[in-house]
Amino acid sequence: MIRILLSVLLILLISCKPDSKGYEKSFDVPLMKKNEEFRLAGEYDSLVNLNKKFYRKAEEIGYEDGKALCYINLAEVNISLENYQKSQSFFSDAEAILRNSKNTIHQSKFYNVYGRFNLEMRRLDKAFEYNNEALNLIKKSGKSELKNNILFNIYLRQGTYLIQKKQFTKALEYFQKARKLDDSGLADCAIGDYIYMHKNMDSAYKYVTIAYHKANERKKDDGIALYANTIMGEYYLADKQYDKAEEVLKKALEIDNKTKRIYAYYTKYIYNDLRSVYEKKGDNDKAYFYLNAYTEAKNKNNTAILKTINKDMESFIAETKSDSEDHKKNMRWVIFLSIAGFSLLAVYAWRIINAIRRRKETLKTESEELKTRMNDKSQEDLMELGRKNDPEFLNQFKETYPELINKLLNINPNLEDSELTFCAMLKLHFTSKEIANYTLIQHRTVQQKKYRIRKRLNIPTETDIYQFFDNLD
């Protein structure tokens, strides 16, 4: 009799337990809204603490799908931080829970975010496959407060994947679908970026400007404003409005500094855009500065940030494990897993260090090439002044070759400016015929000047005069 009563009580308890739909308003909606708010604002600490809090709540009420949402949120933020190994770990935990779930909205969110992860791993076909799965699942779900938000992100990423597959018309259709579901400006940015890539500057300006104004109206320095200012700056750069590009990209950099705990991957692109701006404006010092800043941003993302993030993520994992496992019973497993985890981290760190070293070598080469281009441009400008017999030729030559001028004056302090100008033209390897043409004198006069310079500088007759100036520098 007692067994029958216990069985009936167990059935009643199970039947009274709310399903995932019952937790939507009390758990899913507040978690996802606040998580998105912190993610856009770049508030990494708040986002992690929020998901810790809700994970504990899901543990207390026995809501497994709620745990999965926490895992997906943390997986997504680790994608943005390019911390892919940790992201994969959270996806595995979420997948284990959702495999038996009947909630198509939760499963749809999983496949949508996991598609983005696969794109970062350069697995485009897989990304497209998972995004289609997310789209099929969301269509099966009924009306929900979460549905439109997830559907917006699915449409936006579907458009991105279709661009990668060169299906541009379909991509634009999905961007427009996303735009109808969200008025924040993100879809406008994506459309403007897409049109700008196809060199339709007028149409691109329309959508980029809409996104930019929406971001300004919101008056929030968050991920949306970061995207809008960056794409606006890139549009101005392409349109050769370099002053405006500089202004907007610097604003993007300010926002990036506030949000980089989550949007770390943006920094390097903004620095690279600013480098291009200053190259176009002819400000070589600033161009070189932002090239170095770009280099440092690439390196920092794999060092200091990953160190902090991994520490926080390990803390989260430790807390969630302790909620569901008996500490004493599984101590040996914890020790084993810790050793294995640290070993993996050590291997991962070693790979990162090697990658950073290779990247530094690449960037060093790029820096040297940039300096060479700068020097080549300076040399060409100098030669053009010489060809025009411009009065500024000598002053510019002195700035470019100060040591050579000093050495000439050490040999003969009484050299006149006209003689220094003639020496400068020899240094630049102008032929006698060219010197005669550019300075409007006879070829015979050039030969006489060469003879006089030899006397004034004590150049032996057997020494080639051009070789003398090459060796002197």
Print pLDDT tens along the chain (473 aa): 445 444 544 443 344 444 556 788 889 889 988 898 888 888 888 899 999 999 999 999 999 999 999 999 999 888 887 788 888 999 999 999 998 888 888 889 999 999 988 988 888 898 889 999 988 988 888 777 778 788 888 988 888 888 888 888 888 888 888 888 877 777 777 776 666 555 567 777 777 888 788 878 888 888 888 888 888 888 888 888 888 888 888 888 888 887 766 666 677 788 888 888 888 888 888 888 888 877 776 666 555 445 545 655 666 776 666 655 654 555 566 567 767 766 776 776 677 777 667 766 655 555 554 444 445 567 888 888 989 889 898 999 988 888 998 999 999 999 999 999 999 999 999 999 999 998 889 989 999 999 999 999 999 989 999 999 888 86
| Sequence-ordered list of residues with C-beta below 8 angstroms from that of 249, at least 6 positions apart, any chain | 229, 230, 233, 237, 270, 273, 274, 277
Residue 321's nearest CA partner among 302, 335, 310 is 335
pTM: 0.58
Q: Where in the chain is the domain with CATH 1.25.40.10?
A: 183-375
CATH, domain range 388-472: 1.10.10
How far is the CA of 298 from the CAs of 231, 234, 248, 359, 399, in angstroms? 20, 20, 22, 8, 35
How far is the CA of 337 from the CAs of 75, 341, 343, 447, in angstroms? 20, 6, 10, 84
Residue whose tokens read 């300096």: 371
Q: Where in the chain is the domain with CATH 1.10.10?
A: 388-472
Residue type, 316: F
Task: For domain 183-375, give the CATH superfamily.
Answer: Tetratricopeptide repeat domain (1.25.40.10)
